[in-house]
Amino acid sequence: MTVTTREVPDVGLFSDEVLLDPYPVYAELRERASVVRLESAGMPAGIWALTRYEPVRDALGDPRVFSSRSVAFNERMNAALVGTSLATDPPDHQRPRGALTENLSPRAIRGLKAGIDAKADAMVAGLVERGTFDAIDDLARALPLAVVVDLIGVQGKAREKVLDWGHAAFNVLGPMNERTVADFPVAGELFEWAHNIRAGELTEGSMGRAIFAAAERGEIPYENCGMITHQYVAAGMDTTIASIGNAIDLFAAHPDQYGLLHEDPSLIPSAFNEVLRYEAPLPLFGRLVTEDVEIDGTVIPAGSQAAVLLASGNRDPRHYPDPDSFQVRRNPADHLSFGYGTHGCAGQGLARLEAFAVLGALVRRVRRFTVGPGERRVGNMTRSLDKLPVVELEAA
């Protein structure tokens, strides 16, 4: 086995500068090698970064070697995630994953489409009447919040906290930097709420109630109910918000591509795939390397922390021609943003329903629009906008 160590100084994967614009750093690392050791990257022992499409996809598809026991970049969070679907490898993964996805299967969510479409259309219609609005607060956050809290059956004061809980749940997956430390108490609130909730506190007929019903039937341990409820809230908000916000931002920056979508709404699925490829809502994820593994001549030693750079793989010119251009007709259905293999995003069907609903309503009701300067929300794990003012639009 050939051992080649490609080590570079700390490029600050979790620094504000890189989180705000990661693509130049990703391109530099990608051109160095398929796997690069970063001396620090926010962790004392360093990180092995996988940079190119094929190695990233291969790692996601090999949970035996690239274990999910270390999806976070700090030990405290990895310990907290033990036993969850997110941090469990096959064969133990099957049971918690099955309980999580039972209410998120294509068959289960098919009946939600009409209601989600109606909510999105009503929101966009109201915003068109106003003429100016914030695309993040008034649409990218508003729709997932309206959809997810009702699906889970969240009631009372918890509804007001779901957005902050969802953001914190991803932030604490980063290294122990200021963002992680500041959001641990917020993420802890979500953990306490989810693990102490009872069936009667959730809306009758909701997905949350269905979790408890499965426990009553003996299909899952009762103590797993809180864990699954936690994952619905933690994973069901922030990346969907990021994806919808990034889509609106990209179409504002590429009016010719929005014009294509306006003329042919059947391009919406292809366009959303391109949004996800071009701006991955979750740019990277962690993995524990369980044994020495060679990738293109470089050996990652057992016990190492790997950073699987999904967003870098999505921009790899070895796989996607002209990857830094945004083309709605490209239809990159094999993008990496929803993961791959055993741990592919459980809620991707619901996320697509919500994004398709927003884009469908926009192209029906808005011929063209202009945005002012947007503000990015700096997060350890998710790449999203915090503000995006729509300053002018022409109704269709």
Task: Transcribe 246-266 into DSSP letters.
Answer: HHHHHHHH-HHHHHHHHH-GG
* 45 exposure class (CB count in 10 Å sphere: 0-12, 13-18, 19+): exposed
* CA atoms of 50 and 384, how far apart (whole Å): 22
- pLDDT over threshold 50, residue 1: no
Which one has a higher pLDDT value, 222 or 77?
A: 77
Least-confidence region, from 99-113, 212-226, 257-271, 296-310: 99-113
Query: Is pLDDT of 321 > 70?
Result: yes
| Distance, CA of 61 to CA of 66 (rounded, Å) | 8
Give tens-digit pLDDT for 44-53: 678 999 999 9
Residue 234 has pLDDT above 70, yes or no: yes
For residue 91, is the peptide bond before it cis, meaning its omega torsion is within 30 degrees of 0? yes
For residue 47, with 0-12 CB atoms within 10 Å meaning exposed, 13-18 middle and 19 or more buried, which class applies?
buried
Q: What is the mean pLDDT of the chain?
A: 92
CA distance 301 to 291: 6
Q: Give pLDDT tens digits for 8-26.
A: 656 789 999 999 999 999 9
Would you state the pLDDT for residue 303?
96
**Which of 93-107, 218-232, 298-312 tops mean pLDDT?**
298-312
**Of the candidate ranges 5-14, 145-154, 293-302, 307-316, the one whose mean pLDDT is the lowest:** 5-14
pTM for the model stands at 0.94
| Least-confidence region, from 203-207, 246-250, 383-387 | 203-207
Half-sphere exposure for 60 (CA within 13 Å, toward CB): 27
Q: How many residues does the chain have?
A: 396
Among the residue ranges 87-96, 123-132, 353-362, the one predicted with the least confidence is 87-96
**For the chain, domain boundaries:** 7-395
> Is 376 within 8 Å of 385 (Cβ atoms)?
yes
What is the helix (H) or strand (E) element at residue 75, kind and residue range?
Answer: helix 75-80
Give the span between the Cα atoms of 367 and 392, in whole angstroms: 11
On whether the CB atoms of residues 237 and 166 are closer than 8 A, the answer is: yes
Q: What is the pLDDT of residue 226?
A: 85
Dihedral Cα 218, 222, 227, 229, nearest 10 deg: 80
What pLDDT shows up at residue 205? 87
Yes or no: domain 7-395 corresponds to CATH 1.10.630.10: yes
CA-wise closest residue to 170 among 248, 77, 273: 77
Over residues 143-158, mean pLDDT: 91
Contact 368/392 with Cβ under 8 angstroms? no
Q: State both tokens at 23.
A: 């693509």
pLDDT at 228: 84
d(CA 155, CA 217): 24
Cβ-in-10-Å burial (0-12, 13-18, 19+) of 64 comes to: exposed
pLDDT digit string, tens, across residues 254-298: 999 999 999 999 999 999 999 999 999 999 999 999 999 999 999
Both tokens of 136, joined, read 């993040």
Q: Closest Cα to residue 65, out of 295, 302, 299, 285?
A: 302
- Res 54 pLDDT > 50: yes
| Per-residue confidence (pLDDT) for residue 133, from 0 to 100 | 97
pLDDT at position 96: 67
Lowest mean pLDDT among 92-101, 113-122, 266-275, 279-288: 92-101
Q: Above 60 in pLDDT, residue 207?
A: yes
